Chains A and B, each alone.
Chain A
């Protein structure tokens, strides 16, 4: 049973480019969460999605960031017009139901040059 798969593991983008981060949850998990870890900081909640629905996006920056979890395929975190401050590790986690332990992926490390 494959765990939560995130790709790419490392992503380098120049300022102004777009970054697309993918997350395939564990089989049978319909709840997906995205967290960000900025340098020297802890995990910060960004967004919580269920299939085709955004449930809570209170941690997402208002501009340039968007997330989706389509009926088919992985969840995507999209960052448009990246800036240096977007450099961070982005972690995806999934769970089978709400309010249960999270299963984390290995993260995508985004570097903006």
Chain B
């Protein structure tokens, strides 16, 4: 059974502060690592798909890094805004398998 762990489970951050959280995944048979943002009452929305060790992706104030050798990815949010409040999911994609294994998510709340 593939294990994808995210930490912390929940996080409260003051508006304007920067924050980051972690996704751990198996370091063998790696194909891709996905990040999704899931706002309340909406559906998960893709942020990044990362495939190469050392890869860094950026979208506005959100960025992500990837270490496939040790099996972790970090998601960073710079200068948090209330609209960043959401659950952030990572998902591991294994070589040869066309399905995603999701972590439990990090629930981020930005306090104004």
- Which A residues lie at the B interface, using CB under 8 A? 3-4, 31, 33, 35, 41-45, 48, 55-56, 58-59, 91, 93, 98-107
Docked-complex contact A98 and B43, CB < 8 angstroms: no
Which of B31, B46, B99 has most chain A Cβ within 10 Å? B99
In the complex, the chain B residue whose C-beta lies closest to that of A47 is: B99
Give A89 Cβ to nearest chain B Cβ, in Å. Answer: 10
In the complex, the chain A residue whose C-beta lies closest to that of B46 is: A101
Given known A-B contacts A41-B104, A42-B105, A101-B34, A59 and B43 have beta carbons under 8 A apart: no
Contacts of A44 in B (CB 8 A): 102
Cβ-defined partner of B104 (8 Å) among A3, A42, A55? A42
Give A75 Cβ to nearest chain B Cβ, in Å. Answer: 15
Docked-complex contact A101 and B49, CB < 8 angstroms: yes
* Chain B facing A: main interface SS: strand
Docked-complex contact B43 and A105, CB < 8 angstroms: yes
Cβ-defined partner of A42 (8 Å) among B46, B99, B102? B102
* B44 at the A interface (CB under 8 A): yes
Question: What total count of A-B pairs have CB within 8 Å?
Answer: 53
Docked-complex contact B103 and A107, CB < 8 angstroms: no
Docked-complex contact B98 and A43, CB < 8 angstroms: no
- How far is it, in angstroms, between the C-alpha of A98 and the C-alpha of B31 when the chains are bound? 12
Docked-complex contact A104 and B98, CB < 8 angstroms: no
- How far is it, in angstroms, between the C-alpha of A31 and the C-alpha of B103 when the chains are bound? 22
- How far is it, in angstroms, between the C-alpha of A3 and the C-alpha of B10 when the chains are bound? 29
Docked-complex contact A102 and B100, CB < 8 angstroms: yes
- How far is it, in angstroms, between the C-alpha of A42 and the C-alpha of B38 when the chains are bound? 12
Give A71 Cβ to nearest chain B Cβ, in Å. Answer: 20
Docked-complex contact B103 and A42, CB < 8 angstroms: yes
Contacts of A58 in B (CB 8 A): 99
Give A95 Cβ to nearest chain B Cβ, in Å. Answer: 9
